[in-house]
């Protein structure tokens, strides 16, 4: 039997009130003080400026991440909040420098590019032709072609037929136009796969590794996000050639030139530094409980990010939400009933490593967990809290939310016990161990298209009116969970059927934390 309670009452006036008025469902003085501190004395803008503008992207293993962690420690200490850095392993250290790529022939143009993570540099300026794997190769001719790529830049992604955001295309173009572009995109991907398959057959390596081993000056790829001017930017496996992500249109320009008989020439200068294996940390701050110190409320957000922008919404906003929530708690509720902790997790982007390591290193926290609240998806107000399949989440989460001002609470959907739809972030590091861990979810669509792991994830995307609301809600939830006289029961509800397997959904088993690079 599936038991679900969904609460969603949309306010007619969803704007943010600055005063404590009739929209408040409680006269609890702590909640009133939290509103005053979180809304009228918010420090989110100052904190975000320091984290995002000053420290910038926080790739695992980078000096930026290490500096941001030290700043967190200094900030908590300045507030009188006990804090520590916990080492959990190592990762590949890497520092990105400058990158400049110009088209020299057939015309001059500076190209929009980003270095892929852990890429080697160019050791000065290099210049070379741009080539693409030709059509019609077999394994023998692929080996011959590889012998010609030394000193050249190799394109290794299928080109996009159009870099216009799909929602505008569907809105304004004729249906047959949309269908034609979609068919070209599918054909391009199949064709490019056929071009690169012989390279794999000839070398038993991926095309990137094979081209790198053959002495190419650079490997150029493009992973368009589907939005205007936006690419997903990740890592490279090259050891010698510089790994470059190129914008959708600039990449298409190079590809079109080659396909029409022109050989482009590029000049590139890329700087990076391999720092070897370096230690990795979580930052943990704590207000120790006065009555139940061995029971815990855990706030969490990952601090690390990808590197092509400044990691503003993935997950600078989550980090600031929990940092500001802890400041509010220290100011208004410094002696909690249960211990309140915050975890600024490392290496989430590498596979939930920091939070998984914390779970393994602190079984006492997992065993004593009353509730964990994690935030990891962009700006905008929280829109959903799901009970993650816990039967008695209906007895706790609505009660904790009942004190939140209606201006905020009426825009948040509660799904209890919930279908457990969302995974892949740090809350699942604790769910797998049977601990109650909840995701404070913001809207997804724009985030996925425009800022999630992209070169446009920057400070200007933050909506600070929403961020201060989120931090205030997180503080209120932590307070209510800490004060709740009833311990959270971990009995699972019967989950809905998985449409793929036809079987009831199950919580996945915990994966061991990967504490060192392969």
Instruction: Return phi, psi of residue 322, to 5°.
Output: -75, -35
Q: Are 38 and 328 in contact (CB under 8 A)?
A: yes
Alpha-carbon distance 152 to 251, whole Å? Answer: 15
What is the reported pLDDT for 8? 43
In this prediction, residues 93-99 reach a mean pLDDT of 98
In the predicted model, is pLDDT for residue 505 greater than 90? Answer: no
CA dihedral angle for residue 499, residue 503, residue 505, residue 511, rounded to 10 degrees = -110
Q: Which two tokens stand for residue 34?
A: 């939290």
For the residues 407-423, what does the mean pLDDT come to?
88
Extended strands (E) in 358-408: 369-374, 384-386
Q: Compute the distance between CA of residue 72 and CA of residue 53 in angstroms, rounded to an integer.
A: 15
Both tokens assigned to 293: 């110190």
Is pLDDT at 427 greater than 50 in this prediction? yes
Q: Which residues contact 183 (CB under 8 A, 6 or more apart)?
A: none
First vs last Cα of the chain: how many Å apart?
44
Q: 330 by DSSP, 3-state: which?
A: helix
Average predicted confidence (pLDDT) for the chain: 94
Q: Give the residue from 126, 98, 93, 92 showing the smallest Cα distance to 272.
A: 98
- Upstream peptide bond of 315 is cis (omega within 30 degrees of 0): yes
Cβ contact 379:461 at 8 Å: yes
**Token pair of 195 as six digits:** 């071009």
What would the pLDDT profile of 304-354 be if each residue is shown by its tens digit? 999 999 999 999 999 999 999 999 999 999 999 999 999 999 999 999 999
Rounded to the nearest 5 percent, the helix, strand and coil shares of the chain are: 35, 25, 40
Q: Which helix (H) or strand (E) covers residue 328, if one does?
A: helix 317-332
- Please name each of the domains of the chain with its CATH number: 28-82+288-483 (3.40.630.10), 94-275 (3.50.30.30)
3-state secondary structure 251-267: HHHHHHHHHCCCCCEEE
Distance CA 423, CA 425 (A): 6
- The tens digit of pLDDT for each residue in 81-92 reads 999 999 999 999
């Amino acid at each position: 039997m599936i038991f679900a309670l969904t609460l969603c009452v949309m306010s007619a006036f969803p704007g943010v009130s600055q005063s404590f008025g009739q929209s408040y469902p409680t006269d609890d003085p702590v909640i009133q003080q939290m509103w005053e501190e979180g809304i009228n004395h918010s420090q989110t803008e100052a904190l975000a400026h320091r984290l995002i503008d000053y420290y910038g992207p926080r790739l695992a293993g980078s000096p930026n991440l290490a500096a941001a962690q030290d700043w967190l420690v200094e900030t908590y200490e300045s507030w009188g909040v006990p804090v520590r850095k916990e080492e959990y392993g190592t990762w590949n250290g890497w520092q990105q420098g400058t990158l400049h790529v110009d088209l020299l022939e057939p015309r001059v143009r500076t190209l929009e590019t980003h270095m892929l993570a852990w890429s080697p540099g160019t050791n000065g300026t290099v210049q070379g032709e741009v080539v693409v794997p030709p059509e019609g190769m077999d394994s023998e001719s692929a080996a011959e072609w590889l012998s010609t790529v030394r000193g050249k830049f190799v394109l290794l992604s299928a080109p996009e037929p159009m870099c216009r955001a799909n929602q505008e295309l569907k809105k304004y173009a004729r249906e047959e136009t949309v269908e034609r572009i979609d068919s070209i995109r599918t054909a391009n991907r199949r064709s490019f796969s056929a071009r690169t398959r012989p390279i794999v057959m000839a070398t038993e390596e991926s095309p990137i590794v094979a081209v790198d081993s053959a002495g190419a000056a650079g490997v150029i790829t493009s992973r368009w996000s589907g939005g205007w001017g936006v690419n997903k930017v990740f890592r490279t496996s090259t050891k010698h050639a510089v790994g470059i992500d190129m914008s959708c249109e600039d990449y298409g320009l190079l590809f079109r030139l080659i396909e029409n008989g022109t050989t482009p020439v590029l000049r590139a200068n890329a700087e990076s530094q391999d720092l070897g294996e370096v230690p990795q940390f979580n930052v943990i701050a704590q207000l120790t409980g006065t009555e139940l110190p061995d029971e815990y409320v855990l706030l969490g957000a990952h601090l690390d990010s990808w590197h092509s922008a400044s990691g503003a919404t993935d997950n600078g906003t989550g980090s600031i939400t929990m940092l500001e929530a802890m400041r509010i708690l220290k100011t208004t509720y410094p002696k909690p009933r249960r211990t309140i902790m915050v975890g600024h997790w490392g290496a989430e982007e590498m596979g939930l490593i920091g939070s998984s390591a914390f779970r393994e290193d602190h079984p006492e926290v997992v065993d004593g967990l009353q509730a964990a609240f994690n935030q990891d998806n962009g700006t905008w107000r929280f829109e959903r809290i799901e009970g993650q399949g816990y039967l008695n989440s209906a007895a706790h989460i609505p009660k904790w939310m009942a004190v939140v001002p209606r201006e905020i609470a009426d825009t948040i959907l509660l799904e209890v016990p919930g279908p457990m739809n969302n995974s892949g972030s740090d809350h699942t590091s604790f769910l797998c161990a049977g601990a109650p861990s909840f995701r404070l979810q913001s809207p997804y669509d724009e985030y996925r298209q425009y800022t999630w792991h992209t070169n446009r994830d920057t400070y200007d995307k933050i909506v600070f009116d929403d961020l201060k609301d989120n931090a205030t809600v997180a503080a209120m939830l932590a307070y209510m969970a800490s004060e709740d006289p009833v311990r959270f029961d971990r009995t699972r509800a019967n989950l809905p059927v998985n449409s793929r397997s036809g079987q009831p959904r199950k919580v996945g088993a915990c994966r061991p934390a990967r504490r060192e690079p392969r």
